[in-house]
Amino acid sequence: MDTALFRQLLGHLRVIYPEQDNGPLAGQLLAAMDLDPASPAPPGHQNLWSQDDIVLITYGNSVVDEGEKPLVTLDKLLTGELGQCLTAVHILPFFPYSSDDGFSVIDYVSVNDGLGDWGHISKIASHKVLMADLVINHMSSRSAWFDNFKRRRDPGKDYFKEASPDDDLSQVVRPRSSPLLTKVATEDGDRWVWCTFSSDQVDLDFANPTVLLEFVRIIAFYLEQGVRIFRLDAVAYLWKVPGTSSIHLQQTHEVVKLLRTLVEHKAQDAILITETNVPNRENLTYFGNANEAHVIYNFSLPPLLIHCLLSGSCRHLKTWAMSMPPAQNGTAYLNFIASHDGIGLRPAEDLLSEEELADFVATVSRSGGLVSYRRKGDEDKPYELNISLWDALKESVSGGDQQWQLARFLCAHTLMLGLEGIPAFYIHSLFATENDTQKVALTSRNRSINRHSWTLEALRTSLSNGSHHQQAFEALRHLIQVRRAQPAFHPNATQFTLHLGLQIFGVWRQSLDRSQSIFAIHNVSNQPQVLPLSSINLVSTDLWFDLISGQLFGDVQQELELAPYQCLWLSNRDYGASD
């Protein structure tokens, strides 16, 4: 067997498993994906997205209705209230699980019966691009594989990473403060297993090629069920070696490249996205040379954007935006401000000072937020802030300005929608859900604060009674519909950061065909700001207007007074809203 695809797989496998003959394994991987070795290579540097694309992030049961499976209720929302708001939906782990709200998977190929079944999943995939988690780093201690590990039987006997307390684990980078190793009683004695996240989430051992083969089979199954975007959860920790940091190792990157090769040969519209909640420079490495992840999360955006609006200064946001390399064609950033997790602080390391981080933590805590910690050496460091986005933007660092909460909230999303990349909305951001402190008390988990479960009746009431939920949702829906129609907001369209002082953040976007320009302008402070239009070099022969309000600007030399948190999308062309 000597085809381009087979040779490509061998190239990946030589890096991952240099000590073995990889020919048989390459053949097994092709068979697992039902791929012809002569399959042609997909077109290179192909953008699988456009300005029309918006992603929703949700649990299968974020909204429930009595008497029906939550996935049925979700489907009603996707075709109803949210029908014009998104093109893709990321349903957070919908498999049987034992902890961590789904991220401790018991069975990768079953749907949690409390949510629905594969028929419900496939129905959603028939009208929305479906994104699903491949929880690839670890598995539940209550899974059949781990039960076999304890019984010393196949499959599973050698599927989990083992280490010894005597190993040099001092350099291992930890995302949690829990013990790294857990002692497990097995039928041939005690063993120590590697647990990056918790004792219930046991790390898999990809040094065993059979584990890689198992996950390729899982990917093939997900493709059959309609999944088109694969979120590689916690993939940075995939390969572990005592005496090293056990994060971002070469083999980890090569596994992602191998999965990309297999997936794009099987389904040219499929996308890999890496979930690597780490400092920005490390996160960027998962693009590879446009041969690794198609998409990476813009993890630095949430802490920097929220800090910007709380501090009233865009200094750090602007510095970061200027330093971000444009994504090559065939790759893109996923922009988000909130998710099912908290506001990650690691991506802001080296960007915010210790004093600024302390003020940030104090402000969020004052608004009802909680703090989660990770272990670094002998001390616990803040890892993430747990709070709903609505409450995170309640008041600024200086305090006493809660009257601007809605304006701050909308400014955050308007800014995010204008940046290079694909926008993603957590469902509780779309609905401006408050902190769920009752759920925290019930679960004793900080992250539960932003994992509220609405009843469909209560949600529909809140979206029609003039509440802040309705105001926020209707404003966001308008922004989304306007944005989806503008070529200058293509995820790969040109972006330049403007220099408009510390209180006004602005970027210039230009469409791929250079026909449309948009100046996205945002007052990030709680004070009015004056913007001379001459400072953004509007072409005088063009007619300029604000896509958000429809206001026309005939005099490109005039001065604008921006209200607190006011935003403008100044454009020379309007392609109309998508609705």
Tokens of 192: 């120590």
Q: What is the pLDDT of residues 325-370, one digit of tens each?
A: 999 999 999 999 999 999 999 888 888 999 999 999 999 999 999 9
Tell me, what's the pLDDT at 279? Answer: 87
Residue 554 has φ and ψ, to the nearest 5°, of -80, -25
Distance CA 572, CA 202 (A): 54
* Sign for the pseudo-dihedral over CA of 395, 396, 399, 402: negative
CATH for 494-571, options being 3.30.565.10, 3.50.50.60, 2.60.40.1180, 3.40.605.10: 2.60.40.1180
What pLDDT score does 579 carry? Answer: 39
Give residues with Cβ within 8 angstroms of 566, minimum separation 6: 407, 411, 522, 523
Predicted confidence at residue 21, as pLDDT, reads 97
Q: Which residues of the chain fall below pLDDT 70?
A: 577-579
Kind plus residue range of the DSSP H or E element containing 10: helix 4-16
- Order of strands across the sheet that contains 343-344: 343-344, 379-386, 370-376
Q: What is the pLDDT of residues 515-562, one digit of tens each?
A: 999 999 999 999 999 999 999 989 888 899 999 999 999 888 899 999
341 appears as a binding residue in the annotation: yes
Sole residue written with tokens 């402070």: 525
Please report, for the chain, the start and end positions of each structural domain, with discontinuous segments joined by +: 494-571
The annotation status of 138 as a binding-site residue, yes or no, is yes
Q: Is 233 annotated as a binding residue?
A: yes
How high does pLDDT run on average in the chain? 97
Catalytic residue, candidates 233, 391, 436, 546: 233
Calpha distance 443→532 (Å, rounded)? 52
The reported pLDDT for the residue numbered 212 is: 99
Assess contact for 132 and 229: CB atoms under 8 A.
yes
560's tokens = 């604008």
CA pair distance 91, 227, nearest whole angstrom: 10
Question: Nearest 5 degrees, angle CA 197-CA 202-CA 203?
Answer: 85
DSSP 321: H
Q: Answer yes or no: is 231 a known binding residue.
A: yes
Helix (H) or strand (E) run with residue 233 in it: strand 227-233
> Is residue 498 left, alpha or beta, with left meaning phi > 0 and alpha meaning psi from -120 to 50?
beta
Which pLDDT belongs to residue 577?
53
Active site residue 233: yes
Beta strand 201-203 pairing with 138-140: antiparallel
The encoded tokens of residue 203 equal 């790390």
Output the DSSP codes for 51-66: TT--EEEE-TTSEE-T
